[in-house]
Structure 1
Amino acid sequence: MIEKSYSLANGTLATQQIGNPHPTATTVVFIHGWLDNAASFNQIMKQVAQSSPNAHLVAIDLFGHGFSSHKLGSYYPFHDYIDDLYQLVVKLSPNRLVLVGHSLGALIASCYSAAFPEKVSGLIQIEGHGPLSEAPQETVSRLRDGVLSRLRQRRKPSRPLASLEDAIKLRAHANQIDAELIAPIVERGIVERGTVDQGIVECENSWQWRCDPNLKCDSLYRMSQAHAEAIMAAIECPQLVILGSHGFRYLQHNRYKSEHSPPQIEMVPGGHHCHLESPELVSELILGVVNKI
């Protein structure tokens, strides 16, 4: 696994990569979920690479996550991620592109595939299926709640964690997943602070999340169902949707119709992070799409 960063218009985007674009015709880009990072795909990438030694695999840290830059004063509106991905893909390789997204990453990958169908040869969504949408009458309350969430975040004090182990336990509980499975994401998403002399005693070492606190603010806007349907109908490449048997229930219904390429739906054991719980099955499904392209 190689660490490689790219300078984009709004900062530096970090990636983890296996292989390089030259001996292959396809580049697979993995996009993680909200408050996760590139380590979300460590096991998947290793298993795909074992079966496909010439593969070029790239997992990114979205801005505000992992080792990537924080956007100064930004609250990370969803559509900006599409622009970030567009800038990155131009620098990655001229190869055919397969996008693999988990949760938020699936939303980003689906919208990018719709907007730039000529650039995407395959789309795989894990515990995600198209952009989030809601009824138009929710627009005003979402705007109000989003602004107030920013106020709460600005007032919220920073609470350091006592240890890496505490951070792993916290995330494992929040995501209802075994600690050892979520540990790589936590380890990439946390940083240790040194001792601080307060004039009386030295504070014990503490740990802080790397992610930008502004990521936790509510969105000010969400598209309507009609908008989301138009986006999904514009996707032209082969699509695969991978769902956890105990994942988000609303995803277990085919929410969108595609004029060009109806999605293949596959269920694997696990919850919302099913790719961590069933990496062998998910890797096989991903390879099935890549090998067909």
Structure 2
Amino acid sequence: MLDETISSESVSAEESLFSETTYDLADGELSAVEIGDAQSAETTIVFLHGWLDNAASFYSVMEAFHALAPQYHLCAIDLPGHGMSSNKLGSNFYLFHDYIDDIYQLMPNFSPNKRILVGHSLGALISACYSAAFPEQVSGLVQIEGYAPLSEAPEECVTRLREGVISRHQYRSVPARGYDCVKTAVRHRAQVNKIAPALISPVIERGIKQVGDLWYWRSDGKLKCDALYRLSPMHAKQIMEQVTCPQRVIIGDEGFPYLPQQCRELTENPPEVFTIEGGHHCHLEQPEQVAELILGLVNQTQQ
């Protein structure tokens, strides 16, 4: 039994609205939660969560969006190594660009007519890169608390390489941490993410498992290792210049403060930026408002 932090009413509501699905990849499986039918809907909206979150990050937004526009197909996936999805095989340390390949394998399963990407944080960066590389597959893009792929000056590359390798050694040396109950895990994540426990609880429920007397994260521990390299700012700018579909960026007023300036600097045609109340997980704090902004973007793609 899960801790009382997760109410039975919210779980039963999710079970009645969402369907659990699985998609095959070349080296594993992606788990997803969906509303509607991909083949009969004119448009599919694909939701990509942030680092160490999972598909449950979008439950409340999807519910709010479905109430506004029930004719659309909605699908939120667990990225590889997250939630119910498979871990990457062997010593794969989740290089950022591998996610682009994962989404490329996933996309043929969705509406052949129109696809919209909605990404939060890491998911926002993945969505941007995918929209730039495969513009024929993406009709619209909504990014929440994220914009361009992470980049840094070339002078940082040796330090990045050193620290990345050391982080892998530390991962191999430190055992996984267990929690005595789900409530403790919820309280910990709520403190880290600076969000009310009730709002983050669905993400914890989907992202934790019991082994013996303790609870452990389902997410692959290798996800916490530092990257061995990052793109240069020029690379990031080139990618964002190639995003040609209608685009919106949603930020929390207590989220990442650098995002508005980044949106202005990295492209000659900056996207629409909307600021709402909340922190980095502002979509959990204001799901109805985020759903309305997503629908506004979807409506733009149909003009």
1:8 corresponds to which residue?
25
| C-alpha RMSD over aligned residues | 1.1
Task: Please give the residue correspondences for 1:41-80 in structure 2 after superposition, counting only pairs within 5 Å.
Answer: 41-72=58-89, 73-80=91-98
**CA-to-aligned-CA distance 1:89-113 (integer Å, 9 cap, x gap):** 0123313110000000000000000
**CA-to-aligned-CA distance 1:52-71 (integer Å, 9 cap, x gap):** 11110000100000000001
2:258 corresponds to which residue?
250
> Structure 2 vs 1, CA of residues 256 and 56 (structure 1 numbering), >3 Å: closer, same or farther?
farther
Tell me, yes or no, if structure 1 residue 131 matches structure 2 residue 149. yes
Tell me, yes or no, if structure 1 residue 40 matches structure 2 residue 57. yes
Tell me how far apart the structure 1 counterparts of residues 265 and 116 of structure 2 sit (CA, whole Å): 20
Tell me how far apart the structure 1 counterparts of residues 267 and 259 of structure 2 sit (CA, whole Å): 16
Task: Please give the residue correspondences for 1:153-164 in structure 2 after superposition, counting only pairs within 5 Å.
Answer: 153-164=171-182
Contact 1:12 1:69 in 2 (8 A): yes
Tell me how far apart the structure 1 counterparts of residues 98 and 132 of structure 2 sit (CA, whole Å): 15
> Taking every aligned residue pair, what percent have the same amino acid on both sides?
55
Aligned-partner SS, 1:65: coil
Contact 1:126 1:243 in 2 (8 A): yes
Runs of 4+ in structure 1 over 4 Å off:
none
Aligned-partner SS, 2:186: helix
Return the letter of the residue paired with 1:8. Answer: L
Count of residues paired in the alignment: 282
2:38 corresponds to which residue?
21
TM-score by length of 2: 0.91
Return the letter of the residue paired with 1:181. Answer: L
Specify every segment of 5 or more residues in structure 2 that has no aligned partner in the other structure, as ranges. 1-17
| From 269, 284, 298, the counterpart of 1:290 | 298
Contact 1:135 1:224 in 2 (8 A): yes
Contact 1:235 1:258 in 2 (8 A): no
Tell me how far apart the structure 1 counterparts of residues 267 and 244 of structure 2 sit (CA, whole Å): 8
Aligned-partner SS, 2:275: strand
Aligned-partner SS, 1:219: coil
**CA-to-aligned-CA distance 1:176-198 (integer Å, 9 cap, x gap):** 1100000000100001123xxxx
Question: How far off is 1:158 after superposition?
Answer: 2.0
Question: How far off is 1:280 after superposition?
Answer: 1.2
Contact 1:65 1:211 in 2 (8 A): yes
TM-score by length of 1: 0.94
